[in-house]
Amino acid sequence: MDDSAIVTAEQLPRTAAAASQAAHIGGPDTVLTDAQVAEFVTEQLSGADLDGQSVCVVVPDATRSCPLPLLLSAVHGALAGRVSRLTVLIALGTHAAMGEVQLARHLGYPEGDLAARYPGMTVLNHEWWDPETFASLGTISADRIGELSGGLLRHAVDVRLNRAVVDHDATLVLGPVFPHEVVGFSGGNKYFFPGVAGADIIDLSHWLGALITSADIIGTRGITPVRALINEAAGLIPGRRLALCVVAQSGSGALHSASFGTPEAAWAAAADVSAETHVRYLEAPVKRVLSIMPDKYEDIWTAAKGFYKLEPVVADGGEVILYAPHVTTISEMHPEIAEIGYHCRDYFTKQWDRFKDLHWGVLAHSTHLRGAGTYDEETGERLRVTVTLATGIPEEVVRGANLNHLDPDSVDIAAYEADPDTMVVPQAGEVLYRLRDDHGES
């Protein structure tokens, strides 16, 4: 797809104008101290008119690099005693719920004693599996979806959101921004949709991204069609929306920058920094990539980021190996993906009557991990690159899902590093790799 179908020439200046409305510290070449971050958060929230109001803080789960204890402590210190109620909501999307041990480690409090660090604060998982979790904000019409998607989709959607957001006077989005396979750059209003949203808009937004394709939308600056859809849905939220968007060093707790303002403004400022810090450019494609996945990705549903972020630099006929011996399942939350298998976009669009009634979000995940390819009835499916799993998932399950299998015990990282045809990427999943001339970037 031509990049002009994703972001128009007018949108980048518009995004830059939005970014200028955010308070901001740091930059691509900066590493902020903890004191600088805490001071910035305190200053910004002290100036926000939140006294006596109830505040919901939406934060990421553990699949994103972010110094959450530092940030949340600063937020708690600035709001506790001022606001009538303070609730933290974990934006799971459709990931597995976090247990007490995970939450304590993630938020930085003693296990079983939230009040020791965050007195008066409540923590909730986004229980996306429970229909009672949600409140309906209204419907976005099929015609409006057609406008937002550039004609790719024309399907009305019921916008449902976690009641905790609706039941508070104000919501503060708190989390990092990275290149993202569905929306271009993550963060901002994406913490609402899909972070704490209902299945309908999750499925619609992810399938829209899949129609554009991950390789074309990931790391795209400006307001992509998916971002436009998310922003439209966020406009239906009745309460006040604020955001503290940060740009983290991948794999570490250090921050390059922090931005505060509306979700649109804070996100735009952070995305500008992320584009400078989380994208690496290569001069020529590589034959093979060994993506070494960190433990924070517990299944292929999340570890697939090691493919998304590397697909753009793999040569035709090349291979991406996801090396994750600790991963033992494709997806505990979405077992149907093992039955559908992984296929390119056209495999689904050209057999739409067969697949249209399945969860579109699952279909989208399938296309994102399988990458570019073609399909027709006569020749079948032809895929641009090979996707190989070197994991703890049984071989028959991997091959049954239309992926290649490699025994993780046979992986010699040093040998791959010495191979001129292989690029080894440690801590894969957050940094995007692109060819220098992709989308006119330099």
3-state SS of 219-266 is: CCCCCCHHHHHHHHHHCCCCCEEEEEEEEECCCCCCEEEEEEECHHHH
The pTM of the full predicted model, rounded to 2 decimals, is 0.92
Q: What pLDDT is attached to residue 333?
A: 85
DSSP state of 32: B
Q: What is the pLDDT of residues 242-295, one digit of tens each?
A: 999 999 988 777 999 999 999 999 999 999 999 999 999 999 999 999 999 999
Please determine, for residue 176, whether its predicted confidence score (pLDDT) is greater than 70: yes
pLDDT of residue 253: 77
**pLDDT tens digits for range 184-210:** 999 999 999 999 999 999 999 999 999
CA pair distance 433, 280, nearest whole angstrom:
5
Q: Which amino acid is at 432?
A: L
75 and 46 Cβ atoms separated by less than 8 Å: no
Average pLDDT, the chain: 93
Per-residue pLDDT at 332: 86
Model confidence at 159, pLDDT cuts 50, 70, 90, reads very high
Cα–Cα distance list, 399 to 136, 245, 337, 406, 442 (Å):
40, 40, 13, 10, 38
CA proximity to 181, closest of 369, 401, 314, 435: 369
Q: What is the pLDDT of residue 95?
A: 82
